[in-house]
Amino acid sequence: MLRVAEHVERTDTGRQRRANEDAFFARAPLFAVADGMGGAQAGEVASRLAVEALEPGLPDGPGAADERLAAMVRDANAKIHALSRSAEGAIGMGTTLTAAYVDGEEFALAHVGDSRAYRLRDHKFELLSNDHSLVGELVLRGELTHEEAERHPQRSIITRALGPEGEVEVDHESWPAQAGDVYLLCSDGLTAMVPEARVANIVRGAPSLAVAARTLVDEANAAGGKDNITVVLFRLADVQDGARTAAPEAAPPDPIEDQPTMIGAPAVAADLDSAQAPVAAHARAPRDPAPKPKRRHPRLRRAAISGGILLAVLVIVAIGAKIALQSVYFIGTNNQGYVTVYQGVPYNLPGGGHLYTTDFVSGVSAQSLTRARAHKLLDHQLRSRSDALSLVRQLELGQLTQ
């Protein structure tokens, strides 16, 4: 028989937020993380309603634990949706929700949105949930890798949440659990700031869950803290016959994954013992006779000519690329979630650079789009400026068809 031997939760408003829109529920054997949206006040109400719906605990009844948990999530959606249609200032509010339940020998999960559930087992760190986001769907279709998704400029656009619609599809599944499993539930305020490999190393190498939670939140804030950060960690143990099986000893973090990637910085080794001492100021070296001019070897001359031709080609390619970037546009969202026309191509560069600039910001929030419209507009298709602006203006006037 398995039970939760230890759990810890930690939440932070992030460095750039004034109100906490996240909420969590942590009462063994049921845990949940919710990340609100739709403005600070409305988002906070939505996330709080979601976790409050779980407070009574998982009800008994027919069906597997994950099916009953999904039913509770659908009930929470109905309450949030009803309030969003009746309360002033609540229009468009919603929240993600990732809920987990430990049922004897099983781990059950119900999930909507882009908060996440991870499992650490035998030093292997696995993602159990799928992101219900524009980028997440591209990953599922094999059009993006997980690494590309982490750097994608539109990774924050979600396609499924509690509240916007009267009915919602809830992902749910159960897995066999085992003693020593460590589970992490977190909002995207963590995963958008800290790479997944680094999250794995922190959870794997921390001496306790409390230290892991604190480190995760601190690193997300150090990386910018652009969103609310919520972390719930818990560990399972075997309590058969009153005995508790100790969790396996945490492995040290992988030193390779922990090393930052340095772009364009050559490695230089300094050996102080073998460094040559500078020549004293008063010492004079004998003058060598002026060397006779040497005739340049034909092979060197050909290499210099080839290098000059290559440089000229690279300059021409760079000029062509710049002209190309100035002639294409795509539609996405800005940091505030408004539909935006960008000039260039939707790619980020190492070190925080990118290959696009803002051309036009609309007054339409991406969260107000239907799923069909979001796919039609926010697909990163390269367009002419007139085509992109025409689509956005149709959207603003309510003339854009499905």
- Please provide the DSSP assignment of 293-360 as one string: PPPPPHHHHHHHHHHHHHHHHHHHHHHHHHHHHHH-EEEEE-TTSEEEEEEEEEEE-GGG-EEEEEEE
> Do the Cβ atoms of 29 and 101 come closer than 8 Å?
yes
For residue range 334-368, list pLDDT tens digits in order.
Answer: 766 778 888 888 877 655 567 788 888 876 777 77
Segment among 89-98, 221-230, 281-290 with least mean pLDDT: 281-290
Q: What is the pLDDT of residue 258?
A: 37
Q: What is the mean pLDDT of residues 20-24?
A: 81
- 26 pLDDT above the threshold of 70: yes
Q: Helix-strand-coil percent breakdown of the chain, rounded to 5? A: 35, 25, 40
Q: Highest mean pLDDT: which of 91-105, 165-179, 243-257, 332-346?
A: 165-179
- 271 pLDDT above the threshold of 60: no
Element (H, E) at 37: strand 30-37
φ, ψ at 156 (rounded to 5°) = -90, -5
The pLDDT-based confidence of 122 (bands split at 50, 70, 90) is: very high
Q: What is the pLDDT of residue 320?
A: 58
Q: Where are the beta strands (DSSP E) in 115-266?
A: 116-121, 124-127, 171-176, 182-186, 229-238
Q: Residues 6 or more apart from 34 whose CB is under 8 A from it?
A: 22, 23, 24, 46, 47, 48, 50, 51, 95, 96, 97, 98, 115, 162, 187
Q: What is the mean pLDDT of residues 37-60?
A: 86
The span from the CA of 81 to the CA of 68, in Å, is 20
Q: What is the mean pLDDT of residues 133-142?
A: 82
pTM of the model: 0.63
Q: What is the pLDDT of residue 249?
A: 41
The pLDDT-based confidence of 102 (bands split at 50, 70, 90) is: very high
- 174 pLDDT above the threshold of 50: yes
- 274 pLDDT above the threshold of 50: no
The pLDDT-based confidence of 395 (bands split at 50, 70, 90) is: confident
Number of H helices and E strands in the chain, helices first, is: 11, 13
* Domains present along the chain, CATH in parentheses: 2-254 (3.60.40.10), 302-402 (no CATH)
Q: What is the mean pLDDT of residues 217-224?
A: 94
Q: What is the pLDDT of residue 283?
A: 36
Q: What is the pLDDT of residue 24?
A: 93
In terms of Cα–Cα distance, which of 66, 45, 46, 68 is closest to 56? 68
Percentage of the residues of the chain whose pLDDT score is greater than 90: 40
Average pLDDT across the chain, whole number: 78
The span from the CA of 301 to the CA of 299, in Å, is 5
b/e per residue, 325-335, with b = 16+ CB within 10 A?
Answer: eeebbbbbbee
For residue range 293-342, list pLDDT tens digits in order.
Answer: 555 555 666 666 666 676 766 666 556 555 656 778 888 887 667 788 88
Residue 117, SS3 per DSSP: strand
